[in-house]
Amino acid sequence: MLYRLLKIVLGYAVRKYFISIDINNADRIPKDKPVILLPNHRSAFMDPVVIATQIERTTYFLTRGESFGNPLAVRIFKQLKMIPIFRREHNPDKVDQNEDIFRYCHQLMAERGCLMIFPEGICQTKHLLMPIKTGAARIALESERKHNFELDIHLIPLGINYSNPHRFRGQLNLSIGEPIKISKYKDAFEADYWKAVELVSEEIDQGLRNEILILDDQSDIETIHQIEDIIQFEGAENNDLSWYQFRQRIKQGLYSLKETNAVRFQELKQGLAHYYSSLKRLHLFRSSRVMNYSGMSWATGFWPTLVWLIVLAPLALVSYLLHVLPFLTTRLVSLKVVKRVDFFGSLALILGLFIFTVFGLFQTWIVYSLTANWIATLVFAAVWPSLGLLAYGYVAELNRWIQQLNWRIISSRKKRLAHELDTMRKDLQASVQSVISSQVTGN
């Protein structure tokens, strides 16, 4: 009961937190077979929340045993389908309980259940894949062994990709990989147990690598962001690619260039860095924005956008005043409490759900107190969340319009500088398009 309730509530919160959610190849997760979901782990509690709310199947989660500190927590976590796994370095006195946990997992597989395991065994925010632990392979192989390899267990590599997991109104992509069928490892298992574990773990590793963005140099993500921005700035069309697919194409183009022409690769990186540092000095671009995507497409162009900003200003102002306190409270408390960056997004999601609910109920009560009209009160309660998104989108669009205004002012007052920046941008645009096009043509 608690699991279903939270799935609904958190599902609503996740849909509001992210501006877009794409799920690729959802049909690869069978509904009538035992499944072990194997996602990468980039955002502490956000990852399991995303899996639980966006995957149709009821999912059980292997969780760090140290979280099960008291009887009340144990009861709650069991209701949430969380299964403790104890580590020798944290709970040496409880490691022997893992045998019971493994037996429970084997039984779950026999009942065609769905289990989620983070195969890296650790959460980290970088664009890389940590070494795969053997737990998932062992659970799957041993479950099959108990049933003569007739369970047909499917291991599902699942890429969780965030445009930015720590910012409100980012983008989410779930990329579901090709299922790994454990039954094909029967002969390998019977010949050499640990060799079979190794082979399955290697296939998990490769399966995950196919579904996530992995960078050789973590500083390359800044270059990728700059390329995304400069392409959007130009308004270039990129077919029907999702943001994640387009980011992968940029990465592939960059690394292909790096292999074939390292000098040109460095020149491109340095050129982009110089261009954006120039914009920052002129307050035309901020790489670390508080505001993320607006989620609104009222108009394109300087003057049409201004018209819409003026038309919507009264409603946006009211919406802003209604939501600015819960928004700032959520952000400030999250910044104050969080010590690890990988916890920020998930805490902001949960904390925001609570704080916005309290503020929303309080403001709804005020409306009823002032109007004594249930219809007006219900209408207010129904539109209150949408007004918050309107306020956020309005401020984001206003910030972008102000940047365009600053550019126009600089263009009129410092024509030589504006011409230099415009020329630099067009040269970089041409270089970037060449890099990306090489992945389309195969050159």
Instruction: Report angle CA 355, 359, 360 to the nearest 5 degrees.
Output: 110
What average pLDDT does range 5-19 have in this prediction?
A: 94
Least confidently predicted of 229-233, 237-241, 288-292, 332-336: 288-292
Q: Contact 83/104 with Cβ under 8 angstroms?
A: yes
Q: pLDDT value at position 235?
A: 41
Strands 180-181 and 154-162: antiparallel
Q: Are the CB atoms for 41 and 120 separated by under 8 Å? A: yes
Assigned token pair, 286: 């901020």
Separation of alpha carbons 426 and 245, rounded Å: 24
pLDDT above 50 for 290: no
Give start-end residues of each CATH 3.40.1130.10 domain in the chain.
2-209
Query: Over the stretch 60-84, which tens digit does the pLDDT of each residue have?
Result: 999 887 767 677 777 888 888 999 8
Which residue did the predictor score with more confidence, 286 or 279?
279
Q: Is 84 helix (H, G, I), strand (E, B) or coil?
A: strand
Dihedral sign from CA coordinates of 186, 191, 193, 196: negative
Taking residues 368-395, what's their average pLDDT?
96
Query: Which residues are CB-contacts of 394 (< 8 A; sequence separation ≥ 6)?
Result: 294, 296, 309, 312, 316, 319, 320
Nearest to 245 by CA among 97, 436, 63: 436
Cβ neighbours around 262 below 10 Å, total: 10
Q: What is the average pLDDT across 163-168? A: 84
Give the mean pLDDT of 385-401. 92
Say what percent of the chain tops pLDDT 70.
Answer: 93
Report whether pLDDT(240) > 80.
Answer: no
Contacts of range 335-343, beta carbons closer than 8 Å, 24 or more positions apart: 340/44, 341/125, 341/166, 342/42, 342/43, 342/44, 342/123, 342/124, 342/125, 342/165, 343/43, 343/44, 343/45
- What average pLDDT does this structure show over 299-319? 91
Of 3.30.9.10, 3.40.1130.10, 3.20.20.370, 3.40.1350.10, which CATH number belongs to 2-209? 3.40.1130.10
Task: For residue 235, give both structure tokens.
Answer: 């308004």
Which three-class secondary structure state does DSSP give residue 80? coil
pLDDT tens-digit map of 272-283: 999 999 988 888
What integer is the mean pLDDT of 32-40? 97
